[in-house]
Each structure stands twice: as C-alpha cells, then as structure tokens.
Structure 1
Amino acid sequence: MRDASFLDWPFFEARHRDLAAALEAWCALHLPVDHGDVDAACRALVAALGQGGWLRHTGAAAGERLDVRTLCLIRETLARHDPLADFAFAMQGLGMGPVTLFGTAEQRAWLDRTREGGALSAFALTEPASGSDVAATATTATRVQGGWVLNGEKTWISNGGIADVYILFARTGEAAGAKGLSAFLLPAATAGLTVAERLETIAPHPLARLELRNVELPHSALIGEAGAGFRIAMSVLDVFRPTVGAAALGMARRALDESLTRTATRRIQGEALASLQMVQGHLADMALKIDAAALLVYRAAWTKDRGAARITREAAMAKLYATEAAQEVIDMAVQLHGGDGVRRGSVVEALYRDIRALRIYEGASDVQRIVIARSLQ
C-alpha cells in the first residue's frame, strides 16, 4: 500500500500499528488464494487465519471487550489483498458475535473452536420476507418440554452450507414485532436443518437458503434471555457495521493503488496518463473519498473502544459512507483502466463485483440513512 500514514492518526495505539505491519507481512505470503472452489477456499482461509492467530481477534474472553479498531484494521488489510479472505475472517466474528457478547460458558466452547479456525460460523437473521425489517421475522421457536422446536426459513445466509454452527434468530412470542425474538445456537448437524438452496452472486461467496422443519434444541441453546433477540442482533451489528466500512475501505485503497500504477505507466500522446489534469482530478477525488471514509470508520471504532454502550449513529455513518465511496472509487478505477478495467480477471474488475454487496448486507444504504435521520430527532 502506497499510503499508510493514516496509522499515525490519534485513533491508533502502537499495538495497532504493530498488528497492521505483522498482518501486512502475513498477507504478502498467503494471499490471494485460488477462488476456483469457493467453499474449499473459505475453509482453507479460515484454517490459515486460525493458524496465523488472526481469528483470535474475532471473539473475546468472558468479561473482555472486542477491540473494534483491531477488527477494522484486519478487515481493511485482508480486503485490500483478497476480499474473500476478508469474508472468511468477518464471518467468524459476526457469526459468533452473539456468543461473544451474551453467550454462556457452554456456548463459548464453540467460540473457542471458531477462534482457532476449527469450525466455521454463520449469522442466520435474514428471511425471504424480512431482510432489513428484522421485526418481520417469521421463523418460530416454540417452547416445549426440554427445550424448543424451530420451524421456518432463512435466506442469504453467508457461510450457508459450509458452516459448522449457526446463530439463528426466531420468534418466541414474548411480545409483538421486534420484542418477541430470541437468538439460538444451532449446530449444523442438527436434525431438521437442511440447506434448501445454494445462492450464486456476482462475486462468488458461500451463501444459502436454509429450511428448519421441527428442529429440536435444548434450553441451553438459547443465547441470553428469551425475547432479547433483537437487542442481541443490534448489539452485534453495532460492532460489526463499522468493519464492513473498513472492508470497503480496503478495496478502495487497492483500487487507488492499481490506478496510480496504471496512470503512471499508461501513455497517451507520448505522455503518462497521470500527467493529464482531468486524470489528476479523478485521482484526487479518489484519495479524498478514501480519507473521509477512513475517518468515519475509525471514529466509530474508536468511540466503541472508548466504552460507548452503543454507536448506532457512528456505525451507520461509517458503513454508509465508506461503502458508497468505495463503489465510486472502484468505478473510477475501472474507467481509468479503460478496456482492461472490464476484462474478467483483472484486479479492478474483480473489485467492481466484490464491492457491490457491501452496500446491501448488514443494513442496506437507505436503511443506514433512516438510522442516521432518526438519530437526529
């Protein structure tokens, strides 16, 4: 990366700078990986990230806090080198986020496995009729003697089909809407849970639609209290939404680096493309958007690490601006590369496909605008 001066900003401590340098060296040796078989690639990435010790940052010991600046730095760096590596890392954190924040000692045994890279996790919240509207969740968990019986459907579940454990949200009915949801720890091998469909996207990732038919779980599978599912989900997203912005930031930085190389080496009418005033203007705009995004991302992370109970507004601003800005930066990178920018397999073409989903998952851009607007009232 050409410009790492942001690491000197007051948001960071020496340990963050040391971590960034160590991860940069690790990425240079291990990334990118072959994406030919996405399922196999994700399994291999989780194993490698676990062996390298990076996954230990995806969870925290009981009574300790996640360091959100560390999560953001790792996601930014991984995404710059290989967006699929970022995905593999992020899902270990998001998937087990409810256990990290609210899990019992028994449930945290799974967290030990995911932090070591020995198990893959998934966060099963979205349904066919309830994406951004979590309160519309229709999957049910009925209390029975000895535990719970779950029925319903989940879709667009990252790591769906390859996860070893799912954290799943279902309606337990303590109240109407969002107040009647609960979170459950669901091992993938549980009878009645099936992968109904694998979903293909423009940037291949392991995604699936899941069906639950009379899935039986013990009382010990409940995470936190019955009826606290919405609060649990929002607490987890509060932590991980800024990290989505960090991943977008990493992709944008890579796009700018590729563009600087391209415009310095590509010649037009005997001069480097970078000598053209209009091209310089585009490069300046790209750098400006990147720095603005970084400031919002790391402000949110720093605020959370300073002990803020909630950072809903800061997280929404970081996620919204960083993902939208990265889309614009990468689009300009494609333009500056000309025909090579749309050639399948080129770095900027792959980034163009990779960035698009970040403006949708963990709260689409327009949902973040609603969150921000409501915080002003």
Structure 2
Amino acid sequence: MPDRSFLSWPFFEDRHRDLSARLEEWCADLSVDHSDIDAACRKLVADLGSAGFLEHTGGTLDVRTLCLIRETLARQDGLADFAFAMQGLGTGAISLFGRPDQKDAWLPQTRTGKAISAFALTEPQSGSDVANSTMTATRDGDDYVLNGEKTWISNGGIADVYTLFARTGEGPGAKGLSAFIVPADLPGFEVVERLQVMAPHPLATLRFTDVRIPASAMLGNPGEGFKVAMGVLDVFRSTVAAAALGFARRALDEALARVGSRQVQGAALIDLQMVQGHIADMALDVDAAALLTYRAAWTKDAGAPRVSREAAMAKLYSTDHAQQVIDKAVQLFGGDGVRVGMKVEELYRDIRALRIYEGASDVQRVVIARQTMGAFQKGG
C-alpha cells in the first residue's frame, strides 16, 4: 500500500485529495502494453483524456495538481506519466501565453486527448543552452519561414502540434528567439530520425525545410521566445521532480515487500540492521523529495511570479535521490534486481533521463547558486 499520508500536509486542499483518490482508482485497472511505444502513448493520451485527467494540462495550470498526477502515474507506469506530462508541456506555452483564438483552436483537442502535443526546444548543437538556438524563422510577408533542426523531442513523430522555438533576430542570444504553434502536417516538416533510449519513449530529430506558417502562429510577441520557454519550464520543472518522486515511492514499496518476504540464513531480511539502514535512507530521501517538490508547486500556485530556485532545488534533489533510492532497491533484490521484467529494473532505466531533460542536474546547480547569491547580494 503506497504511503498517502503526505496528502494531509498543508500544501494540499480537499480538491487535491479528491483528485488523488480518483486517479488511484483509475490506476488500479491501468495496464500498458510496451511492445509498441507509439501505439501505447496514443492509447494512454486517449484514455487519460476520456477519464478527464487531461483537463488539468491546459488553461489555468495548478502545479500541485500536475505534480500529484505525475507522481501517481509514475508510480504505476513511466510511460503513463510521460503521456500525461507531454500534453501539459507541449501546450503549456499556449495555456500561459496564447491568445484566446490560439487556446480555442488547440486546448479543447489536447485536453480531451484528441490531439497529441510536443515541446520543440532542444537543438543538436545548443542542448540546454537555449539562448544559442540556431533554427530560424524568417519573416516573409504575412508568414514566417522555418528552417533548421530540433532533436530529443518527446512525442516527436506522433505529435499533432508542436510548440517550437526559433530565432527571429530581434537581438543577440536569448533576445532574438520567438515561439510558434506549428501543426505537424505542414509541407517541409519531416522526422529524420527516431531516437532509441534505455527507457523507450517516442523521441525524434525533426527537420524544418522552408516550412511556412502564418505570423498569427506566433505565441506572444517577437523576441519573447526565451521568456515563453522559461515561463513554461518554471511551471513544469517541478512536475519532473514529482515524477521522480513517484518512481522513488514505487522503488521503496517494492523493496519493503521484498525484504519482508525473503529470508537469509533463517532470518528475515527486514530484521537485518544493515537492511533497515537502507530502508531508512530511502524513506528519508522520499520524504525530503516530496517536501521540496510540493513546496515548489505550492509556492507557484500561491502566486509567486517565478519559482526558479524552488523548482531547481526540487528537480535536482528529487531526480538525483530517486536514482539512489532505486539503486538501493535493486541492490536489495540481488540478482533479480537486474532481471528484465522486474519492476525495479524498469525503474532503474526510467529514472536516468529525468536527471537530464528539462535542465540537467548541473544546470540546476547553476540556477540554485545564482539565485542564492543574488538573494544574498540584495540582502534577503
């Protein structure tokens, strides 16, 4: 039985507890076929939409709700968490910065699971350095013409719509980027490579060759792309921490069941002090990650304009320490821990990417350091 005592913390309201209970009930019947990842993701999006849970991915974004859903889904199945998360991230810019007509065009489709969305930011050369993006959007009359490549794009190849960032040249670096809504069926758009990773997800490298979009497809104003991207990540970075927390909780549950049922030399594993020490460390990491994650989410929901420091702390701690919790679980399982088909082996593969995407761990350290030093220099 997963620990749900954290729901009594003051971060949450009754609506969050009710949602959590409904999602737990829905997850009881969740079964994901991983043999065809694209088909599984399409089905998950459709099912999450039919059940009403995708309603929370568009419009007014409540970060605590997003985190609770991601944590719960991740505890059940990593691909289910992925399918939900990408619907939010993919249209987050539309929710936060879109005009009414842009919201009306896309959010009803993504929130019901009728359209799959994606967030196209990373490029082959720039990686996490968004300000050095080189993809161009050149103004031509009433249109923009897109040229360049994006890579490591989640839902690449199955998405119906992409939030895409390109250089429009209003200034150097971050000042010259703009954001656009780009449907996937435009001439000149192609998927040039599907990327295979250790925990399979739909990932792709995309190429745009003279792709023409109307100027009305821009999100916000010219040159505001970096602001849009950071605004979206400021909301969704905390949810990555929540997904890691879900993986860690599942690993702890699996470990507890294992050591409670196994014996070594006539004694239950759980009675060994060294094993108890591992369990204590895992429980501590889970609760610390939960506190950081839901502090960041609550702070954003309470009206803070930015939560860069809080979200960075949550993502860094939760992802790094979830890796440690899962590693301990694998160790407690012994040889079975690395056997394909075991849940802890699956978790071991699932967690690793979270320490890289939406800002790698070392990037989060830079954010935390800058925010902390800046606050000190301002005297508070």
**Normalised TM-score (structure 2):** 0.97
Within 5 Å, give how 1:106-117 maps onto structure 2: 106-108=101-103, 109-117=105-113
Letter of the structure 1 residue corresponding to residue 238 of structure 2: P
Query: How many aligned positions are there?
Result: 372
Within 5 Å, give how 1:13-32 maps onto structure 2: 13-29=13-29, 31-32=30-31
| Alignment partner of 1:345 out of 341, 351, 366 | 341
CA distance in 2 between counterparts of 1:242 and 1:40 reads 28
Within 5 Å, give how 1:230-245 maps onto structure 2: 230-245=226-241
SS of 2:293's equivalent?
helix
| Alignment partner of 1:179 out of 148, 153, 175 | 175
Asked whether 1:58 is paired with 2:57, we answer: yes
Asked whether 1:270 is paired with 2:262, we answer: no
Letter of the structure 1 residue corresponding to residue 23 of structure 2: L
2:6 counterpart residue number: 6
Contact 1:32 1:81 in 2 (8 A): no
Letter of the structure 1 residue corresponding to residue 58 of structure 2: G
1:68 counterpart residue number: 63
Within 5 Å, give how 1:283-362 maps onto structure 2: 283-362=279-358
CA distance in 2 between counterparts of 1:376 and 1:295 reads 19
Q: Unmatched 5+ residue regions in structure 1?
A: none
For residues 186-219 of structure 1, give each alpha carbon's deviation from its aligned partner in whole angstroms, at most 9, with x where no partner exists: 0000111100000000000000000000000001
Q: CA deviation at 1:105?
A: 2.2
2:376 counterpart residue number: none
CA distance in 1 between counterparts of 2:75 and 2:3 reads 13
Contact 1:198 1:208 in 2 (8 A): yes
2:378 counterpart residue number: none
Q: Which moved more, 1:70-79 or 1:105-114?
A: 105-114
2:124 counterpart residue number: 128
For residues 293-338 of structure 1, give each alpha carbon's deviation from its aligned partner in whole angstroms, at most 9, with x where no partner exists: 0000000000000000000000000000000010000000000000
1:282 counterpart residue number: 278
Q: Unmatched 5+ residue regions in structure 2?
A: 374-380
Letter of the structure 1 residue corresponding to residue 3 of structure 2: D
Contact 1:46 1:88 in 2 (8 A): yes
Q: CA deviation at 1:376?
A: 1.4
SS of 2:100's equivalent?
coil
CA distance in 1 between counterparts of 2:119 and 2:107 reads 13
Contact 1:148 1:219 in 2 (8 A): yes
CA distance in 2 between counterparts of 1:7 and 1:193 reads 45
Q: CA RMSD in A?
A: 0.6
Q: CA deviation at 1:131?
A: 1.3
CA distance in 2 between counterparts of 1:50 and 1:250 reads 21
CA distance in 2 between counterparts of 1:361 and 1:234 reads 14
Q: CA deviation at 1:343?
A: 0.1
Contact 1:27 1:81 in 2 (8 A): yes
Letter of the structure 2 residue corresponding to residue 375 of structure 1: Q
Q: CA deviation at 1:83?
A: 0.8
1:101 counterpart residue number: 96
CA distance in 2 between counterparts of 1:177 and 1:2 reads 46
Q: CA deviation at 1:2?
A: 3.1
Asked whether 1:204 is paired with 2:203, we answer: no
Asked whether 1:190 is paired with 2:199, we answer: no
SS of 1:376's equivalent?
helix
Q: CA deviation at 1:106?
A: 2.4
For residues 1-49 of structure 1, give each alpha carbon's deviation from its aligned partner in whole angstroms, at most 9, with x where no partner exists: 43111000000011111110110000001x2311100000000000000
1:90 counterpart residue number: 85
For residues 55-100 of structure 1, give each alpha carbon's deviation from its aligned partner in whole angstroms, at most 9, with x where no partner exists: 000011xxxx311000000000000001100000000000000000
**Runs of 4+ residues deviating >3 angstroms:** none
Q: CA deviation at 1:171?
A: 0.2
Contact 1:330 1:352 in 2 (8 A): yes
For residues 313-372 of structure 1, give each alpha carbon's deviation from its aligned partner in whole angstroms, at most 9, with x where no partner exists: 000000000000100000000000000000001000000000000000000000000000
**Normalised TM-score (structure 1):** 0.98
| Alignment partner of 2:362 out of 342, 360, 366 | 366
SS of 1:149's equivalent?
strand
